[in-house]
Amino acid sequence: MIEMNSKTLSNFRAHVKTEYPKEACGFVLEVQGSEEYYPATNISEYPMESFVIDPKSYAEAEDLGVIKAICHSHPNASSAPSEIDTSSCEASNKVWHIISWPEDKLSTLRPRGWVVPLVGRNFEYGVFDCCTLIRDYFKEKLNIEFECLGGKDTWWDRGENRYLDNYEGQGFRSLPIGSPVQEHDVFLMNIVSPVPNHAAVFTEGDIILHHLYGRLSGHGVYGGYWRKHTTHHLRHVSLC
């Protein structure tokens, strides 16, 4: 069963055709009882291989109506969902529609309530990265929610300082380096960067959980390398 009407599908297909060979992305909206397709902006650094929906597009879509589904295209590939598509569908808890182009085939994904494991995630900036891992950890372990305001990939080389600009607004406070560490504390680190661009959460013993660029998410020992590159020790205000 295709969970959108023919006009919505036609508009989605037209957007995909216009954006080709880049990945198109958008939403199926419910606007005052009617269904509409809303085209979003793909801000991925590699738009021919992936998509990242511009937060402005999210905000504009939510102002117009209720987001019922997320749409995107697979240029020069089949419409079969990738592992990232499947995991992201579960994380969003919304229906996903995928059109292959120019093949012009449609696939639809429906969330099944599966929780994406914290360990073993493939890295995909803005979907599965160090910040989203810690966000999901806090939700799963402590039922604490916050946002990841990550912007574009490699923001740390663009004169931005995303972690330091946003951690207080997301409910964290900074402790002096060398303070006693407790479970659920977060460490910010600079990894080949002039500013903190990586984060890890302290779990137990000397173990951290983190997701390094290009690797699977997992645990590691909070030892020499990670300690050396730690710039900030954070704790959520609810745990202080």
Handedness of CA 3, 47, 62, 93 (dihedral sign): positive
Q: 3-state DSSP call for residue 124?
A: strand
Look at phi and psi of residue 216 and say left if phi exceeds 0, alpha if psi is from -120 to 50, else beta: beta
Contact criterion met (CB below 8 Å) for 206 and 222: yes
Q: Label the pairing between strands 66-75 and 95-101.
A: parallel
Alpha-carbon distances, residue 209 vs 168, 198, 233 (angstroms):
21, 12, 15
Burial class (CB within 10 angstroms; exposed 0-12, middle 13-18, buried 19+) of 34: exposed
Q: From the candidates 25, 89, 130, 148, give the one annotated as an active-site residue.
A: 130
Q: Is 173 strand, coil or helix?
A: strand
Residue closest to 50 by CA, chosen among 27, 70, 25: 25
Residue 198 a catalytic site member? yes
Catalytic residue among 74, 210, 233, 236: 210
207-210/218-221 β-pairing: antiparallel
Is residue 210 among the annotated active site residues?
yes
**Catalytic machinery residues:** 130, 198, 210
